């Protein structure tokens, strides 16, 4: 049961990034303009999309999940403090707190790793 819940948790926490990358790809110009409105160069949308696809997949399958989760935690914190600091707007407060919460969830993965259902899980050998 723990393995299933661990995998479900990894899928749920990572799915937001896959959807976000999909949306960025299909509204590339708007996403670039939005980033540039915050003083962030628009070309950084490409590495952001790559991070939002590759790292969540690594977390889901359990390949270098701790490193990937650590990088996603940093990404969430950076996103919160760069793009969601307008606390006069209720939606921005919610987005800020969502990113902080996601960073916390990823830190749990950094500390605890994944259970048995992961690519990196060490195989246990029995000596005969």
Instruction: Express each pLDDT in 3-24 by its tens digit.
Output: 999 999 999 999 999 999 999 9
Closest CA to 13 of 63, 46, 55, 50: 55
pLDDT of 127 higher than 90: no
Q: If you count them, how many residues does the chain have?
A: 128
pLDDT tens by residue, 73-86: 999 999 999 999 99
Q: What is the pTM of this model?
A: 0.91
């Amino acid at each position: 049961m723990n393995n299933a819940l661990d995998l479900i948790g990894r899928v749920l926490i990572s799915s937001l990034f896959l959807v976000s990358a999909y949306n960025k790809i299909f509204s590339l110009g708007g996403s670039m303009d939005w980033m540039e409105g915050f003083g962030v160069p628009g070309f950084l949308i490409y590495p952001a999309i790559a991070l939002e696809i590759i790292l969540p997949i690594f977390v889901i399958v359990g390949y270098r999940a701790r490193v990937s989760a650590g990088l996603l935690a940093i990404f969430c914190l950076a996103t919160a403090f760069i793009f969601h600091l307008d606390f006069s707007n209720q939606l921005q407060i919610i987005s800020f707190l969502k990113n902080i919460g996601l960073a916390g969830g990823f830190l749990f993965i950094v500390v605890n790793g994944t259970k048995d259902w992961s690519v990196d899980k060490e195989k246990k050998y029995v000596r005969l």
